[in-house]
Structure 1
Amino acid sequence: MAARSLEIGPAGIRAARTIEILRTERGLSQRELAARVTALGRPMSNTMLSRIERAQRRCDIDDLLALARAKRDELRLMQHSVQRPKERSGWSARRTPKGAAEPIKP
């Protein structure tokens, strides 16, 4: 069975844009930031970072945390990257007995 690529959703697109904005605010090139991430133990090339910023490559949570640490801006990156879309802002999650999150209306 062939691997199927997954579409990058709204949160992934926001994360990609935030990564680029914060990188440029810090005055870092893609090569410099990728080298910092690699030095922290998460191998990343400038090509990989470029694809993440253009939303052509999915950014997993390990990449996101390594990028935040490398930019020394963990909280800001995480806040901007994981905000819920406005149309879902009225929803909350409650824990079911098995520990799974289940969306419910307030």
Structure 2
Amino acid sequence: MTRRPTEIGPAGERTAAAIENLRIARGFAQRELADRVTALGRPMTNTMLSRIERTRRRCDVDDLVVIAAALGVSPLALLQRAS
């Protein structure tokens, strides 16, 4: 039996937009942010990050925490930020 991907809801969409907006505001390319995330102990490729930003991949809580740290914000800031 094939698994259906879990739909990404409004909070996931806002978070994906917040990650992309902050990444750009910080002047990071996707590869740079992915490298920073990996250096913090959560292996991530730029493809994985791209899929999160485009809502093609779910951002789980472990991803959220380390992406926030790499961007220099709290995870809550990513959840609350307007897109």
TM-score, shorter chain, exceeding 0.5: yes
Tell me the amino acid that sits aligned with residue 71 of structure 1.
L
SS for the counterpart of 1:13 is helix
By percentage of residues, which structure has more helix?
2
CA distance in 1, matches of 2:69, 2:77: 14
1:35 aligns with 2:35: yes
Fraction of identical pairs, as percent: 59
For residues 40-59 of structure 1, the aligned pairs below 5 Å read 40-59=40-59
Kept in 1, the 8 Å contact 2:19–2:78? The answer is no
Structure 2 residue runs of 5 or longer lacking an equivalent are none
Letter in 2 for 1:7: E
Show the counterpart of 1:70. 70
After the TM superposition, which segments of 4 or more aligned residues of structure 1 sit over 4 Å from their partners?
none
The verdict on how the C-alpha distance between 1:57 and 1:44 changes in structure 2, with shifts beyond 3 A counting, is: same
State the secondary structure of the residue aligned to 2:58.
coil
Root mean square deviation of aligned Cα: 1.4
What residue ranges of structure 1 are gaps of 5+ in the alignment? 84-106
* Whole-Å separation in 2 of the counterparts to 1:33 and 1:54: 15
Compute the TM-score of the two structures, normalised by the length of structure 2: 0.90
Aligned length: 81
- The structure with higher relative contact order (CA 8 Å, sep 6+) is 2
